[in-house]
Structure 1
Amino acid sequence: MLTAALVCAIGLLPWLSRTDPALTVLKARSAERTPDPATLRAIRVELGLDEDPFRLLGKWLGGLLRGDAGRSWVSDTEVLPAVAQALGASLLLMAGAVVVAVLTAGATCARTLWLGSRRRLGGRGPGGTGSAVLAALPEFLVASVLASVVGVQLGWLPALGWYGPRWMILPALALGLPTGAILGRMLDDLLPSAFTEPWALAAAARGVPPASVARQALRRCAPGLLPNLALFVVGLTGGSVAVETLFDIPGLGRLTLRAALAQDLPVLQTGTLALVALAALAALLARFGVRRLTGPALRDGALHSLHRPTPPAPRVVPLVYGLLLATVIALGLPRGPLALNTTDRLQAPSWTHPFGTDALGRDVLARIAHGALSTLGTALAVSAAALLTGVLLGLLPRLSGPLVDTVNAVPSVLAALLVTGIAGSGPWTPALAVAVVAWSPLATHTSALLRQERATLHLTATRALGAGPWYLLRHELLPAVLPPVVRHALLRLPGIALGLAALGFLGLGAQPPSPEWGLLLAENQPYVERAPWAVLAPAAALTLLGALAVTAAGGARLPRRRPKQPTVTVRPADSGPAAPSAETARHAVLAPAPTDSR
């Protein structure tokens, strides 16, 4: 039903956007051709646009059932072969990006694995500064740097095209490095608890090799990350529009974007259905993997909780990042972001212009500072809305599961076009587009943690003592689920800011002369070789914001509840022992067994 609603919304996109699809198709076919009424009328008759849009959609669905997705409105070629070829290129790129992401995630949490397997973990927080910066890097910026430096200047690898395995390395690195850093920090958040479970303590006491303990710890934490890995896979396939555009890769993301901009409905609908099918397959494989890894423990309630009180994170590093970002904004606010001076075009950084000037002679520092207000405010608002929506829907996995699979298959670019068509263009259109898809990873993470927490021993004991559902939710489930999900939301904050920036980079967000950071990157991208500071300065500001959010995420935790003081009650001598409270049962289950001193 959700897929049908999505396909119907795409089929009605030209009519929802209140534009003439014949004019859009004519411009896509030939931008220089004059749109006279006779030509537009001929296109409407050719494509059947004069018919009812629902009837037109029904004809396409009927042909799809026969294995015919129709012909492209722009190129007049068969749709299915083009979509299959683009999907193959995207899947190959996704496979390479997943390999890079897994290796990056392993390098991110390698120190935790080494320390934990040797019982030297202590109270360190997850991740490091390097992974924080890497997780905050914009994919299109990484792609631009790799293409211009490694591909063009050094000539080590090809920078454009799609002709063999060597052409896959740079785009796979651009997609896999930030994704792997995020996955690595999420895994690093769970590993310390796994190393304190009874099986790990017993293995260390019996002299099991540390490598075996580390492998079992990874297996213990993997079920909580597999659903999010499935989301990353689908996102890498359909959401890598900017990377495919920069490297000139004929992938499904770029094909879908072009079809959406040209309102080529047969190609757009078929590509979206392919992404939805891929999302459903990835979710199914993730659920199967979770069941294989956890075995009957989910059914029997034999798991231990991975929730632990989060140690206070070091506050020096995020404080430094925050001071740097605040200093940049404070220095740039007194300057004029729109002041033009054509005699100072593309000037290098100096005392007069610390970050240099752009192609119109405008001060880059001033534009970054004034754009920070809208970029940071919008990113924080969207992150808060995504966190609230993700937690609420994640607590209802039967409702959110199919919805997540469908929403995750929609690239943010296509979501922006749909939102623009329904709500119209405006300053909040990019925020709505990103918010439509930003909640799904948080809902998936909430559902995965909730599923494991419900199968823990202490929750089974608390339920057996008579605790009701609301008590379990408030005192046991939410304290265990919310801290890692909040930290995950903070990890996603740079991604949301980068999503807004990517829409601006692709021309679907803020419009000139707005100083929004994504638009700054898009405007200065053609001058990256002549004036790299015009691109590196806003990219550094985005990276600084991401590093601040990621390093601060390590200390996100709920306030600790003060334990109630035990009350002494006088009972008759013949009465039995008092029933223990739920909190007592929790600690009794989690406490190690006493040793026999005899």
Structure 2
Amino acid sequence: MRQRTATFLWRAGIAAALVTALGLLPWLSHTDPAVTVLKARSADRDPTPEVLADIRHQLDLGHGPFHLLGDWLGGLWRGDAGRSWISGSEVTPALLQALGVSLLLMAVVLAVAAVTAALICARTLWLGAHRRLGGRRACGSVSAALAALPEFLTASVLATVVGVQLGWLPALGWFGPQWTILPALSLGLPAGAVLGRLLDDLLPGAFAEPWALAATARGLPGRTVARHALRRCLPSLLPNTGLFVVGLTGGSVTVEQIFDIPGLGRTTLQAALAQDLPVLQAGTLALVLLAATAAGVAHLLTRLLIGPALRDGALPSLHRPPPLAHRTLPLLYGALLTAVITLGLPRDPLALDTTERLVAPSLAHPFGTDALGRDVLARVAHGALDTLLLACAITAVTLLTGVALGLLPRLSGPLVDTVTALPPVLVALLVTAVVGSGSATPALAVAAVAWAPLAAHTSSLLRQERAALHLTATRALGAGPWHLLRHALLPAVVPPVTRHALLRLPGTALALASLAFLGLGAQPPAPEWGLLLAENQPYAERAPWAVLAPAAVLALLGALAVTAAGGVRSGPRRRRSAEPLPPEPPPHTRELVATTP
């Protein structure tokens, strides 16, 4: 009871601190809220002293931010979130409508993600059900490419090709279920690819557990064994699934912008840009509450699936060294990426030639040229230096932070839920308000939220590993907490979390690209990958190479990260690539194998 009370107070304190920081946003950024509100209301009106004084009087800005925050919190207890500073309308009805839109979109996105994850894991499930899961595993290049798809680029292509040119589905607006399909595909394919890879990483360990061997020996159908193996792996995946739920609701700002969807993420972003504090605070609080709800549901489902085993310490260790990945594929992908960078570095990424605008790929310009006649290969190669180095540095920092905080779940759990509820764009605005705009702002914003999934994954694996039978036996032999942490827990938890971090490396690059796409990252003429996609997006129909080149390099980075992640192992290396699962015993020995402890 005391633990639950402490957790609740910790969550409430984090939410209060976040809402307070948002209430101080105009004063932290040293901007006059009256000027920002005037520009949002009427950009053509001159900010005369009389007009600004009238706005300050209307909004009661003269009493300072804490007075405004107190009034807003006082009305919140009565269900009144105040009135918008821009439109003057009540915040609560508009916010509930935006939340309903986001929840509907989220449900469709989760369906797309579930189907994508099932297709990625289908081969492993089939092999495990037929006791053929051994040797080299699938390379995962397709899932890597899907995970590395830029959401805003996928949304733009689907809206242009499927929605406008072919006319199969509506591309803009929000008027019914048909309008959810294209944005759901844009968001669900990358999310499903990441979840599918995480699940595919756990399934071989489940099929190798004693219960699976005994079930097969007793002659249970392969489908039944596969279903229980899937149930065995889901608890480790549920925390990250809950994080995806919140991320899809608040972090799908770019997709909502492209498809003109009045969702909660877009509403919160517009309020942040206009410094409409009542809407911004209410939208962020709704995201935080949604994150807490998703975390509670994930925790409850985990308890329902393997609760007694967690309580009794009767779980086998699910995390064993995976088979060695295909060694040639990471070398091939790395060589291709290195070749692209090496060929492009000698070229000038800023050289303009208006006589060669949007030229198709040729020997002189292998990736073609953009709308200003600049060589796309040169811009991709020079942008790779900044994007790749920054993404790798952020991944290393977030991995260390995630593992360290994941080892303290009581401290990090509520913090993870709150951080995940914040769209990276909103975090970028807060970072800009505190430290100012600059080249480091996108990196700080992405690093501030990218550690949360790794911490949640670490806590989930740690909770299950602590209930493993071998840990119970080691503890009975007198091993202390530090010995268990160093020799049992960390060797089992760190490798899968490291593979998870490598899987998210393209996503980190995409987050930086998304901020640049929204104008919060690098600024022209910098050859940053996100900026390249944003600049060339209007010409995707006339010159698709200008968009496909940086997108293909992102996909190549994803394939390299996933295949290289297969080499992150725990325990001693084996001479052979993998040990196949033992064959099914003959019928006359099944009962003996099944009853042997």
TM-score above 0.5: yes
Residue 455 in 1 paired to residue 455 in 2?
Answer: no
Change (3 A) 1:32 1:595: closer
Residue 295 in 1 paired to residue 295 in 2?
Answer: no
Structure 2 unmatched ranges of 5 or more: 1-12, 575-591
What code does the residue aligned with 1:409 have?
A
- Tell me what 1:104 maps to: 116
Whole-Å Cα distance in 1 between the matches of residues 573 and 488 of structure 2?
12
Whole-Å Cα distance in 1 between the matches of residues 414 and 206 of structure 2?
30
- Tell me what 2:555 maps to: 543
What code does the residue aligned with 2:502 have?
L
Whole-Å Cα distance in 2 between the matches of residues 73 and 343 of structure 1?
49
Structure 1 unmatched ranges of 5 or more: 563-592
1:419 to 431, 437, 447: 431
1:310 to 322, 336, 346: 322
- Tell me what 2:264 maps to: 252
- Tell me what 1:128 maps to: 140
- Tell me what 1:408 maps to: 420
Whole-Å Cα distance in 1 between the matches of residues 30 and 84 of structure 2?
21
- Tell me what 1:159 maps to: 171
- Tell me what 1:445 maps to: 457
Change (3 A) 1:419 1:126: farther
Following TM superposition, by how much is the alpha carbon of 1:560 offset from its aligned partner in structure 2, in angstroms? 2.6
Whole-Å Cα distance in 2 between the matches of residues 596 and 263 of structure 1?
67
Whole-Å Cα distance in 2 between the matches of residues 142 and 319 of structure 1?
28
- Tell me what 1:340 maps to: 352
What code does the residue aligned with 1:360 have?
L
Helix, strand or coil for the counterpart of 1:50? helix
Kept in 1, the 8 Å contact 2:217–2:594? The answer is no
- Deviation digits for residues 326-345 of structure 1 (CA, Å, limit 9, x no counterpart): 11111111111111122222
Whole-Å Cα distance in 1 between the matches of residues 351 and 50 of structure 2?
46
Following TM superposition, by how much is the alpha carbon of 1:561 offset from its aligned partner in structure 2, in angstroms? 8.4
What code does the residue aligned with 1:262 have?
A
Counting only pairs closer than 5 Å after superposition, residues 555-594 of structure 1 correspond to structure 2 as 555-558=567-570, 560=572
Whole-Å Cα distance in 1 between the matches of residues 180 and 56 of structure 2?
41
Kept in 2, the 8 Å contact 1:97–1:172? The answer is yes
Following TM superposition, by how much is the alpha carbon of 1:533 offset from its aligned partner in structure 2, in angstroms? 1.6
1:369 to 356, 381, 388: 381
What code does the residue aligned with 2:441 have?
T
Q: Which has the higher relative contact order, 1 or 2, with Cα contacts under 8 A spaced 6 or more apart?
A: 2
Which is worse superposed, 516-525 or 437-446?
Answer: 516-525
Residue 62 in 1 paired to residue 96 in 2?
Answer: no
2:514 to 485, 495, 502: 502
1:185 to 194, 197, 201: 197
What code does the residue aligned with 1:461 have?
A
Kept in 1, the 8 Å contact 2:214–2:593? The answer is no
- Deviation digits for residues 449-506 of structure 1 (CA, Å, limit 9, x no counterpart): 0000000111001000000111100110011101100000001111111000000001
Whole-Å Cα distance in 1 between the matches of residues 122 and 139 of structure 2?
10
Following TM superposition, by how much is the alpha carbon of 1:315 offset from its aligned partner in structure 2, in angstroms? 1.8
- Deviation digits for residues 237-259 of structure 1 (CA, Å, limit 9, x no counterpart): 00000111111111011111111
1:357 to 369, 387, 405: 369
Runs of 4+ in 1 over 4 A off after TM superposition: 593-597
1:399 to 392, 395, 411: 411
- Deviation digits for residues 353-397 of structure 1 (CA, Å, limit 9, x no counterpart): 221222222111111111110000110011001000000000000
Whole-Å Cα distance in 2 between the matches of residues 166 and 559 of structure 1?
50
Whole-Å Cα distance in 2 between the matches of residues 232 and 124 of structure 1?
30
Following TM superposition, by how much is the alpha carbon of 1:43 offset from its aligned partner in structure 2, in angstroms? 1.2
Which is worse superposed, 62-71 or 346-355?
Answer: 346-355
1:520 to 514, 517, 532: 532
Helix, strand or coil for the counterpart of 2:262? coil
Following TM superposition, by how much is the alpha carbon of 1:49 offset from its aligned partner in structure 2, in angstroms? 1.8
2:37 to 13, 25, 39: 25
- Tell me what 1:195 maps to: 207
Kept in 2, the 8 Å contact 1:126–1:189? The answer is no
Whole-Å Cα distance in 2 between the matches of residues 26 and 69 of structure 1?
21
Name the TM-score, length of structure 2 as normaliser.
0.93
Kept in 1, the 8 Å contact 2:148–2:558? The answer is yes
What code does the residue aligned with 1:411 have?
P
What code does the residue aligned with 1:498 have?
L
Whole-Å Cα distance in 1 between the matches of residues 280 and 370 of structure 2?
36
Kept in 1, the 8 Å contact 2:139–2:326? The answer is no
Residue 145 in 1 paired to residue 157 in 2?
Answer: yes
- Deviation digits for residues 170-211 of structure 1 (CA, Å, limit 9, x no counterpart): 111111111111101100001001001111001111110111
Counting only pairs closer than 5 Å after superposition, residues 70-85 of structure 1 correspond to structure 2 as 70-85=82-97
Whole-Å Cα distance in 1 between the matches of residues 444 and 86 of structure 2?
29
Whole-Å Cα distance in 2 between the matches of residues 529 and 37 of structure 1?
48
Whole-Å Cα distance in 2 between the matches of residues 254 and 469 of structure 1?
47
Change (3 A) 1:477 1:561: farther
Whole-Å Cα distance in 2 between the matches of residues 61 and 113 of structure 1?
51
- Deviation digits for residues 275-324 of structure 1 (CA, Å, limit 9, x no counterpart): 00000000000000000000311010000001212221102222221111
Helix, strand or coil for the counterpart of 2:504? helix
Residue 47 in 1 paired to residue 63 in 2?
Answer: no
Following TM superposition, by how much is the alpha carbon of 1:559 offset from its aligned partner in structure 2, in angstroms? 5.9
Whole-Å Cα distance in 2 between the matches of residues 596 and 98 of structure 1?
41
Kept in 2, the 8 Å contact 1:109–1:127? The answer is no
1:88 to 90, 96, 100: 100
User: Number of residues paired by the alignment?
Assistant: 567
Whole-Å Cα distance in 1 between the matches of residues 558 and 185 of structure 2?
19
Kept in 2, the 8 Å contact 1:91–1:237? The answer is yes
Change (3 A) 1:559 1:301: closer
- Tell me what 2:273 maps to: 261
Kept in 1, the 8 Å contact 2:492–2:570? The answer is no
- Tell me what 1:574 maps to: none
Change (3 A) 1:231 1:318: same
Following TM superposition, by how much is the alpha carbon of 1:126 offset from its aligned partner in structure 2, in angstroms? 5.4
- Tell me what 1:565 maps to: none
2:504 to 492, 498, 515: 492
Whole-Å Cα distance in 2 between the matches of residues 284 and 595 of structure 1?
37
Kept in 2, the 8 Å contact 1:137–1:542? The answer is yes
- Tell me what 2:390 maps to: 378
Whole-Å Cα distance in 1 between the matches of residues 429 and 55 of structure 2?
23
What code does the residue aligned with 2:489 have?
L
Following TM superposition, by how much is the alpha carbon of 1:85 offset from its aligned partner in structure 2, in angstroms? 0.5
What code does the residue aligned with 2:204 have?
P
Helix, strand or coil for the counterpart of 1:349? coil
- Deviation digits for residues 404-452 of structure 1 (CA, Å, limit 9, x no counterpart): 1111111100000001111111111100000000000000000000000
Whole-Å Cα distance in 1 between the matches of residues 219 and 281 of structure 2?
58
Name the TM-score, length of structure 1 as normaliser.
0.93
Following TM superposition, by how much is the alpha carbon of 1:124 offset from its aligned partner in structure 2, in angstroms? 2.9
Which is worse superposed, 34-43 or 101-110?
Answer: 34-43
What code does the residue aligned with 1:341 have?
D
Q: What is the identity percentage for the equivalent residue pairs of Structure 1 and Structure 2?
A: 74
Kept in 2, the 8 Å contact 1:133–1:544? The answer is yes
Whole-Å Cα distance in 2 between the matches of residues 104 and 17 of structure 1?
42
